[in-house]
């Protein structure tokens, strides 16, 4: 697991001290996040599409319907930009100008390849499932051959990548510190509520531990 070398396109220029290029930081962000946003241009029109993803090693996998315009377009080898963002807290300053957000984000640039090998494709589908709910794959019915044909999987190598991270409290102008205004950070976390069983759930089916004890 090697670190990423910043390029002209991934070098963080605005507040460069927040830029992170080590693989540990990048992979932790990717492995915690649910959703990525995929940016690309088709017929001169820019699109940014939210979707789920999975990662193994230095490869990010995307998937969806074989009829997906996004996946059809990306499989042609056009440039793609994938972003992931985690919001950790609202940073409340004494002035409007210095309000901010504590966050962790990743930007990935490159071109994706179509996954045609059945073994790699099935493994990618396992990754998608386990990324959202670890432990789920071993209990569910796996995709049939027909379902596999109806699904497209793309692999995006993690080569041109950077992360950007903001931590800490507000930074106000010196003259504003005397203002009688509350300032600090309101942390934000992902929490779960009680599971809601499907209306056609077989009677007596227990809630798995990976659901009742779920966390990111």
CATH code for position 57: 2.30.110.10
Q: Is 154 helix (H, G, I), strand (E, B) or coil?
A: strand
Residue 5 belongs to a domain: no
Residue 188 belongs to a domain: no
Domain total in the chain: 1
Residue 114 confidence (pLDDT): 97
Residue 2 confidence (pLDDT): 72
E strands along 57-149, which residues? 59-65, 80-92, 100-110, 113-114
Residue 1 confidence (pLDDT): 56
- For residue 154, the enclosing domain spans 16-170+203-212
Residue 194 belongs to a domain: no
CA 196 to chain centre: 25
Residue 215 confidence (pLDDT): 87
Residue 43 belongs to a domain: yes
Contact status, residue 179 vs residue 92, Cβ threshold 8 Å: no
- Over the chain (216 residues), the average pLDDT of each successive run of 10 is 86 91 96 96 96 96 94 95 98 98 98 96 96 96 96 97 97 97 97 95 96 90
Residue 103 belongs to a domain: yes
Alpha helices in the chain (DSSP H): 23-32, 69-74, 118-132, 145-149, 209-212
Residue 14 confidence (pLDDT): 87
């Amino acid at each position: 697991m090697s670190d990423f070398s910043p390029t002209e396109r991934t070098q963080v220029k605005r507040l460069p001290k927040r830029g992170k290029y080590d693989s540990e930081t990048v992979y932790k962000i990717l492995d915690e996040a649910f959703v990525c946003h995929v940016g690309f241009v088709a017929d001169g029109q820019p699109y940014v599409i939210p979707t789920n993803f999975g990662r193994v090693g230095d490869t990010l996998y995307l998937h969806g319907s074989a009829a997906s315009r996004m996946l059809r377009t990306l499989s042609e080898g056009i440039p793609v930009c994938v972003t992931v963002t985690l919001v950790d807290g609202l940073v409340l300053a004494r002035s409007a100008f210095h309000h901010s957000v504590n966050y962790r984000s990743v930007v990935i640039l490159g071109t994706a390849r179509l996954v045609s090998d059945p073994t790699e494709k099935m493994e990618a589908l396992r990754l998608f499932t386990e990324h959202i709910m670890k432990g789920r794959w071993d209990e569910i019915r796996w995709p049939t051959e027909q379902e596999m044909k109806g699904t497209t999987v793309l692999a995006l190598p993690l080569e041109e990548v950077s992360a950007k991270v903001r931590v800490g409290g507000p930074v106000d102008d010196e003259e504003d510190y005397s203002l009688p205004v509350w300032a600090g950070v309101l942390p934000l976390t992902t929490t779960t509520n009680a599971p809601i069983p499907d209306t056609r759930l077989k009677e007596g089916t227990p809630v798995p531990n990976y659901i009742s004890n779920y966390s990111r």
